[in-house]
Structure 1
Amino acid sequence: MSLRTFTLAAGAAVLLIALPGSASAASGQFRYSYTTADGYEAVGFLNNPASGQCINLAPAASEPGSASRAPKNHTDATATVFLGTDCEGENYYSLKPGRGASDRLQVRSVVFS
């Protein structure tokens, strides 16, 4: 390997190390309401949720026929909430950062951009 090739490769390696990576999480908190199996009202939350990955909301998503409601996006990313699990289905709604939805909006999964 010539000195010039070595210098170019070393320079490229330094650039890769110096460049910041893309964010892998939304900063902040995502909240939602749900009813427990005992009939109590509760609030679930996700702190600094992963970006680009579907998250099924628990515990409501694990109980057949139940859904969470009233999502509030207090993160710095857009949250797309779905009525279906695994971020599937035609029923979805996008919440911009700092926005919330009414108690009527039912959700079972969410993905952050």
Structure 2
Amino acid sequence: MRARSAFLAVTGVVALFLTIPATASAAEGEFTYRYYDEHEEIQVGVLVDPPSGECIEIPEIADWDVDAFRPRNDTDSTAVVFMDDDCSSDAYFSLRPNGGRGSDRLLLRSVIFS
């Protein structure tokens, strides 16, 4: 009888763990920004469902000495933008989720999502 009760208890715990949703590891939505390409034309870049808790260098400008600008955060997480490539500068700005945005004067090279 005890073996049966123990089996049912373990089975119940396993079933509970299988039904609990996994912790989200990505901000859902889009993060957009502007940058100048090699022809000095404005382009729009986008990060779709970016990972949370990781520093993301803006890919289109990673090898250039230019900055992205006018960020818009349409993800469900707070985005913190930085003026350097590795999210370590003292100069940063936080954009609220679901529509937070910066002007053309807000320059960035990397971003991290909460």
TM-score, reference length from structure 2: 0.88
Q: 2:110: which partner in 1? A: 109
Q: 2:56: which partner in 1? A: 55
Of all paired residues, the percent bearing the same amino acid is: 40
Q: Is the 8 A contact 1:61 1:109 kept in 2?
A: no
Q: Is the 8 A contact 1:61 1:67 kept in 2?
A: no
Q: 2:86: which partner in 1? A: 86
How far 1:22 moved relative to its partner? 1.5
23-32 or 95-104, which deviates more: 23-32
TM-score, reference length from structure 1: 0.89
Q: Is the 8 A contact 1:55 1:111 kept in 2?
A: yes
How far 1:62 moved relative to its partner? 2.2
Aligned-residue Cα RMSD (Å) equals 1.6
* Counterpart AA for 1:36: D
Question: What stretches of structure 1 move > 4 A for 4+ residues in a row?
Answer: none
Partner Cα separation in structure 1 for residue 113 and residue 38 of structure 2? 28
DSSP 3-state at the match of 1:11: helix
Q: 1:67: which partner in 2? A: 67
Partner Cα separation in structure 1 for residue 17 and residue 112 of structure 2? 29
Q: Is the 8 A contact 1:81 1:94 kept in 2?
A: yes
Deviations 1:30-80 (A, max 9, x none): 1101011221111101112122222110211221x3211111111111101
How far 1:103 moved relative to its partner? 0.5
* Counterpart AA for 2:32: R
Structure 1 segments unaligned to the other structure (5+ residues): none
